[in-house]
Structure 1
């Protein structure tokens, strides 16, 4: 069976920060794409390799090839040019491969330079058994399915979930036919070929992936990759962020605090649900990564956030920390009000905050104090909260 590898390298990689597209950035003096290509060009079962690039990147592509051992270049075909979407780019590459009529094709992201020979072997074996197969690794975090308002609808059994990677493996004729059907119906929304195969009715199987086969997406990923290639552990810098929020009382029979609906003889005046604890924590996390405040990400002038559940705001901020390769160490909040009392709800709130942020309960602290009848809180005109968040971010050198 003849095998071709199609490397998708036409993206702009904007989430990786400013500069040239991420697939051309250097890792230990060698472009990311060069490392990815070397894995496939040196594999004995891969006969041909084709890269899909952006038309503006031809010079960068040539520089990546110059970093490769020249004896490997003979397996490399002239590049194809990408389209408006990843799906378009893959289809363009498949069309260029068709005259060679390979039996199997492996589709791989250029920004996964740690793909190894064993994973490529498993992909080829899977393609020889099934028409469509994707590598996957077990999901270690609990996953929630939510509705448009951020309310949890269901919690899937994570033992049945897999995080999908590349190289994805296919019968060539079957995959190109699926792409042609999609374009004929003007369906162009697929971000991976496994999903496209599912759409046309193929049975897509999952074979064991590799946790080390990471995709370089954010600046922190490059820092970690450099450390890995140097054989050094990742080093982190500790950051502290603070947040404060206040809302006036109004008509109502409850307030939202710490993600919990608390009975009260008043409500709060707010654009969202007015949860001062979650709002303060959100700002604390955003402050720790120096990424604006809650109003920057969820402006009150935007009607979509009217009445929104504040757990969405906190989950977003926690996700931004993790997107940068960061770790949340501790969250601490103090509630300032005369009433309602925090005590009866403290532990439930701690559990809810931990769940939103993917933490252990012992990483969440909640306290409350009155202001001795002083100020607006002392007069029971409103409620306030102040918060602190301690996180660790990958340490980035001045040269990176």
Structure 2
């Protein structure tokens, strides 16, 4: 794990953290081939890729869909405590998502023109839930809950099933939240199927959810034919801490991030050099106790950092440059720093608020902008599953007022039919 200092590197220490989150040209080329193949061969291509990449051979494309009864059985098989945890998480996410709903709006101007917008849900959404090395029932909830709150008609979920096996927790979460259809396909081929549709998999209007480099590349390449919420890179956390922080808690939070994937990034930024020493010692102890120790070591070795800053103000400046997916404020007066945060996917305020609460049950979504895209992007929310339609209703008096303005601008643009259309609605001016 790198030990860095702004005293040595200046605030450009952020350059030492630069990593390749984007898919390589090789991945992009392969993904383009897969998308074209699925577009041409449809279900046959999905069956072939499932056999090649997920190590099982479905009898046909219909076998890729999980029956509703299988999902219901998985939910019923959970213990009462597990079902209660799933339900509580869903309830908290739903309550938060309700506050994000966009509403219709309108106003009437002085001439009697009514202007505004109406809000409509997206009709059919594809939800990608990662599978393979780990199972993510939380991702099912995070993607599907805001879609349900928005009023999406159909939620089509895809998730890879290595060896033909789907985790019962994932199935249970899909059943609990009311996913309409679930297909055991993953990777670029799943994105391609959702974008263009096949005889078995319905085409959707928007695709959401994180995945690996192939999924990210596929989402980029189908954007325009369908909507996407973002292109996700490796997950990341940046922790700003001071002397009041518990070094073991900080170490555990870094480990929690690092165990996702060797490409995950976990960074501590602090003006306290003694805290860095203590956290490093705690990391050595805690990693040995964790089943995913190998993944954590690889992540911290290749992408982790312990950064010493001059003061907390410099730590905040660094955080704003990094624009992390997750930002923890593990300082004595965390609320006082919040107004200075300009760029982050989600902020976790105070010692009692680990990032893992946000992963599962706090309320806000854990599908967040990564790779510095928090500079211009927001967390996944109900608003991502809604669209606004502008509404204009001119009165007779309003037409008299608008027509000459529209006519003059149309003539300036050399669009005579536009000018004639405006002139026909009212107003006495004729532009010479």
TM-score band w.r.t. shorter chain: under 0.3
| RCO comparison, higher one (Cα < 8 Å, 6+) | 2
Answer 1 or 2: which has greater helix percent: 2
Q: Which has the higher strand share?
A: 1
- What TM-score comes out, normalization by structure 1 length? 0.25
TM (norm. structure 2) is 0.23
